[in-house]
């Protein structure tokens, strides 16, 4: 006889059922994402045939190309072809660049990934300590100052923050490099192995190019990171205040533990699960919302690529970029769920 759990279920079936449910939810999420991006392409006012051939195309040519694109077929057939193409990583050809969209995304996405990663690191390193300070000194001048700083970071327009940073630290003080990802003198000097400029420059041993790329990265990363720090700081304050009301904190204080040990050794670890989710979502939002920052700083990433594509009615590029961002969100949610299970034994 097979061993069973206390409630009579087979252990293997329980694990298999959990994995099957997770896989089913993931598949349903991807199908929903595909359906949304497909419908976006169909409800947009731009005509893909006109975008490809121009407005003065003869009617006969227009109808022929429309049929070749399959736009006269039933909508379910079009969606089926779209799903099959995406499964092959085929997003079509970009009208703007004349290259496959997947090649364009592979070229520009590392720049956005590098910028968003730097932004979320800055946001985490600033936001978590500020949130803990505000929670520990709740109702004091420290709490008020932290809340004011986070409010400005959360509500100030992204483009305004970027322009102010350029004006002060680049134009007036000259402490950093200006717009762009690297100076003209270093363009093409580093072999793009990973697409991440700092990593590639370090791997190649081109430290002058590394410092130049880092100087270009500082301002847009701070612009993104300030907003991320504001959100993470507010969430950290809320999570920490909830933990500070718990009985285990009172017991730790009664035992004579210093306040810093209570906060760092007890409160922060118990906030870790919630913070992981907040930081993961912030990372996804930075990858998606870097459009204005990339525009202000002329950063050649996915946001700028999609913006140019939208202005030129390049729907293949827009839909490809939208799908990639959606996949990133799904992956980050999955990662946060895995980390949640690792950090919280009760979730296993």
Looking at the structure, tell me whether residues 233 and 193 fall in a common domain. yes
Q: Is residue 50's pLDDT more than 80?
A: no
Looking at the structure, tell me whether residues 157 and 292 fall in a common domain. yes
Is residue 211 in a domain?
Answer: yes
Q: Report residue 164 as tokens.
A: 């102010």
Looking at the structure, tell me whether residues 70 and 111 fall in a common domain. no
Is residue 12 in a domain?
Answer: no
The residue with greater pLDDT, 223 or 289, is 223
Is residue 27 in a domain?
Answer: yes
State how far the alpha carbon of 288 is from the alpha carbons of 59, 117, 291, 314, in Å. Answer: 39, 12, 7, 18
Looking at the structure, tell me whether residues 78 and 129 fall in a common domain. no
Looking at the structure, tell me whether residues 137 and 81 fall in a common domain. no
For residues 62 and 51, give the distance between their C-alpha atoms in angstroms, rounded to a whole number: 11
Q: Phi/psi at 93 (nearest 5 deg)?
A: -105, 140
The pLDDT value given to residue 257: 80
The pLDDT value given to residue 14: 53
The pLDDT value given to residue 37: 76
Is residue 304 in a domain?
Answer: no
For residues 26 and 334, give the distance between their C-alpha atoms in angstroms, rounded to a whole number: 9
Looking at the structure, tell me whether residues 123 and 264 fall in a common domain. yes
Looking at the structure, tell me whether residues 238 and 173 fall in a common domain. yes
The pTM assigned to this predicted structure is: 0.80
Q: Is residue 281's pLDDT more than 70?
A: yes
Is residue 271 in a domain?
Answer: yes
Among 59, 87, 115, identify where a domain stops: 87
197: domain CATH number? 1.10.3720.10
For residues 315 and 260, give the distance between their C-alpha atoms in angstroms, rounded to a whole number: 54
Looking at the structure, tell me whether residues 245 and 135 fall in a common domain. yes
Is residue 125 in a domain?
Answer: yes
The pLDDT value given to residue 41: 67
Taking only the tens place, the pLDDT of each residue in 103-151 is 999 999 999 999 999 999 999 999 999 999 998 888 889 888 988 888 8
- Overall average pLDDT of the 285-304 stretch: 83
Looking at the structure, tell me whether residues 168 and 57 fall in a common domain. no
Of the candidates 342, 333, 205, 174, the one whose C-alpha atom is nearest the C-alpha of residue 269 is 342
Is residue 318 in a domain?
Answer: no
The pLDDT value given to residue 185: 83
For residues 98 and 104, give the distance between their C-alpha atoms in angstroms, rounded to a whole number: 10
The domain tally of the chain equals 2
Domain of residue 199, residue span: 105-298+331-347
Please, are residues 348 and 341 in contact by the beta-carbon 8 Å criterion? Answer: yes
What distance, in Å, lies between the first and last C-alpha atoms of the chain? 27
Is residue 226 in a domain?
Answer: yes
The pLDDT value given to residue 331: 82
Write b or e for each residue in 253-262: b if 16 or more Cβ atoms lie within 10 A of its Cβ, otherwise e. eeeeeeeeeb
For residues 91 and 187, give the distance between their C-alpha atoms in angstroms, rounded to a whole number: 29
């Amino acid at each position: 006889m097979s061993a069973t759990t206390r409630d009579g279920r087979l252990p293997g079936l329980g694990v298999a059922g959990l994995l099957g449910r997770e896989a089913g939810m993931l598949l349903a999420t991807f199908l929903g994402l595909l359906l949304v991006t497909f419908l976006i392409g169909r409800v947009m006012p731009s005509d893909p045939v006109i975008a490809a051939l121009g407005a003065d195309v003869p009617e006969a040519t227009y109808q022929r190309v429309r049929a070749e694109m399959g736009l006269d077929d039933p909508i379910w057939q079009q969606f089926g072809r779209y799903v099959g193409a995406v499964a092959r990583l085929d997003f079509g050809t970009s009208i703007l660049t004349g290259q496959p969209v997947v090649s364009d995304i592979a070229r520009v996405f590392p720049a956005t990934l590098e910028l968003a990663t730097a932004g979320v690191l800055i946001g985490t390193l600033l936001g978590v300590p500020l949130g803990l300070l505000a929670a520990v000194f709740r109702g004091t001048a420290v709490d008020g100052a932290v809340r004011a700083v986070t409010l400005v970071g959360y509500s100030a327009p992204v483009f305004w923050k970027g322009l102010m940073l350029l004006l002060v630290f680049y134009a007036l003080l000259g402490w950093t490099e200006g717009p762009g990802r690297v100076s003209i003198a270093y363009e093409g000097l580093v072999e793009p192995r990973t697409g991440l400029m700092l990593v590639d420059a370090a791997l190649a041993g081109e430290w002058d190019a590394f410092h130049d790329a880092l100087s270009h990265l500082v301002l847009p990363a701070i612009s993104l990171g300030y907003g991320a720090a504001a959100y993470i700081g507010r969430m950290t304050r809320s999570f920490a205040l909830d933990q500070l009301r718990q009985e285990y904190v009172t017991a730790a204080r009664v035992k004579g533990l210093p306040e810093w040990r209570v906060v760092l050794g007890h409160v922060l670890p118990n906030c870790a699960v919630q913070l992981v989710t907040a930081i993961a979502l912030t990372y996804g939002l930075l990858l998606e919302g870097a459009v204005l920052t990339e525009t202000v700083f002329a950063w050649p990433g996915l946001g700028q690529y999609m913006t140019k594509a939208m202005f030129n009615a390049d729907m293949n590029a827009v839909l490809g970029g939208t799908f990639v961002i959606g996949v990133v969100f799904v992956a980050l949610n999955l990662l946060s769920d895995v980390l949640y299970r690792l950090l919280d034994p009760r979730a296993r």
